Amino acid sequence: MKYEIKQLTEEEENFIEEKINVYGDSMAPSEPHTEEEQLVFKVEDEDKNVIGGCIVNIHAWGRAVLLYRVLR
């Protein structure tokens, strides 16, 4: 079986994020008024150009959602 990794459109990204959130909420619903934590990382090439990055949102119950973007 072959797979390809391709850039997402904004619409596709929103669709996937929504499905991940629905599934996560069904497994470990967030508690009201809980704080979220966010970790943000970047990826640079040897010339210090930013070529990608990711954001990890840590929700209630320790559930994490990873968002990433490759810029090249």
- Taking the whole predicted model, whether its pTM rises above 0.85 is answered as no
Beta strands in the chain (DSSP E): 37-44, 50-58, 64-70
Domain ranges for the chain, please list them: 10-70
pLDDT at 55 over 70: yes
Looking at residue 64, its pLDDT comes to 75
Instruction: Indicate the pLDDT class of residue 21, thresholds 50, 70 and 90.
Output: confident
Beta bridge partners, 70, equal: 52
* Alpha carbons 30 and 11: distance in angstroms, whole number: 25
39 or 20: which leads in pLDDT: 39
Instruction: Indicate the pLDDT class of residue 34, thresholds 50, 70 and 90.
Output: low
